[in-house]
């Protein structure tokens, strides 16, 4: 899941109730400095009305990913634009063939994903995954297994899910998952399903909560698409 400048932002909140952009920038930089997997000296932070843009360079896709994850943890961040570029050191460079082989071996050796379902294409260090999976967790697991391999500069997950009959009362199942969650701290979330498609609406405090709500929705049996319209609002 990628957070960017097009994420929904609640503009109705009075600016006085928000962290100032100066304070938010300081908090994001502090969190980046606190994260040992990130070299903060190579990362730039721009903030406008609670929307954070990360710029600069990372020495691996893993560092780029961790930088975005760190920004998501900061209260007040309402959207993230990830403009960090991956500049691999010579020691980390791999041929596309080498990356493809390593990714294929990683997926072959797992019991999480049925053999042969995932297709891998690598171009200039960027992995594209295609294929049809039985469950959303398999799609997510395939991405997690290959995105931090040496030489990877980025990843696009184009996997689809096999059509299945809609699950009765899926709205109630997802709302119950929200209630059980130790991450979601709001009752202002609405769930609406039509067939195999689910739409989420409401407000949460952090990008992490927004992401967790979507994860919970995808985990419901029979869900083939999730439209996450939850906005991030901090006060």
Give me the CATH number covering residue 109: 3.30.1340
Question: Do β-strands 43-48 and 85-86 pair in parallel, antiparallel, or remain unpaired?
Answer: unpaired
Q: Does one domain contain both 48 and 73?
A: yes
- How large is the average pLDDT for residues 143-148? 95
Domain boundary among 66, 86, 106: 86
Is 105 contained in some domain? Answer: yes
Radius of gyration of the chain from its Cα atoms, rounded to whole angstroms: 19
- C-alpha span between 146 and 141 (Å, rounded): 9
Model pTM? 0.80
Is 10 contained in some domain? Answer: no
b/e 205-224 (16+ beta carbons within 10 angstroms → b) = bbbbbbbbbbbbbbebebbb
- How large is the average pLDDT for residues 194-211? 93
Is 9 contained in some domain? Answer: no
- How large is the average pLDDT for residues 58-71? 96
Q: Does one domain contain both 152 and 201?
A: no
Instruction: At 233, give phi and psi (nearest 5°).
Output: -140, 120
pLDDT band, residue 185 (cuts 50/70/90): confident
* Cβ–Cβ under 8 Å, residues 204 and 213: yes
Which CATH number belongs to the domain containing residue 28 in this structure? 3.30.1340.30
Q: Give the 3-state secondary structure of residue 148.
A: coil
- The total number of structural domains in the chain stands at 3
Domain boundary among 113, 142, 161: 161
pLDDT at 6 over 90: no
Q: Does one domain contain both 38 and 22?
A: yes
Residue 205 lies in domain: 170-232
Domain boundary among 123, 142, 161: 161
Lowest mean pLDDT across 12-21, 142-151, 220-229 = 12-21
User: Could you report the per-residue pLDDT of 101-115, keeping only the tens digit for each?
Assistant: 999 999 999 988 988
pLDDT band, residue 13 (cuts 50/70/90): very low
pLDDT band, residue 235 (cuts 50/70/90): low
Lowest mean pLDDT across 4-13, 54-63, 64-73, 194-203 = 4-13
């Amino acid at each position: 899941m990628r957070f960017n400048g097009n994420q929904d932002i609640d503009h109705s909140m009075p600016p006085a109730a928000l962290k100032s952009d100066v304070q938010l920038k300081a908090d994001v930089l502090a969190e980046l400095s606190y994260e040992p997997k990130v070299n903060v000296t190579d990362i730039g932070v721009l903030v406008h009305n609670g929307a954070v843009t990360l710029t600069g360079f990372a020495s691996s896709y893993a560092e780029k990913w961790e930088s975005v994850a760190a920004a998501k943890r900061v209260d007040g961040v309402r959207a993230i634009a990830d403009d960090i570029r991956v500049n691999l050191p010579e020691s980390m460079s791999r041929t596309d063939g080498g990356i493809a082989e390593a990714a294929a071996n990683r997926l072959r050796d797992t019991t999480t994903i049925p053999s042969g379902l995932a297709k891998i294409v690598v171009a200039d260090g960027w992995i594209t995954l295609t294929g049809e999976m039985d469950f959303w967790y398999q799609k997510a697991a395939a991405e997690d297994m290959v995105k931090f391999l040496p030489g990877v500069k980025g990843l696009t997950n184009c996997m689809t899910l096999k059509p299945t009959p809609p699950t009765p009362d899926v709205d109630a199942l997802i709302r119950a998952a929200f209630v059980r969650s130790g991450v979601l701290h709001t009752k202002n979330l609405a769930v609406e399903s039509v067939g195999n498609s689910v739409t989420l609406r409401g407000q949460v405090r952090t990008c992490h909560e927004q992401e967790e709500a979507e994860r919970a929705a995808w985990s419901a049996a029979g869900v083939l698409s999730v439209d996450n319209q939850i906005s991030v609002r901090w006060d």
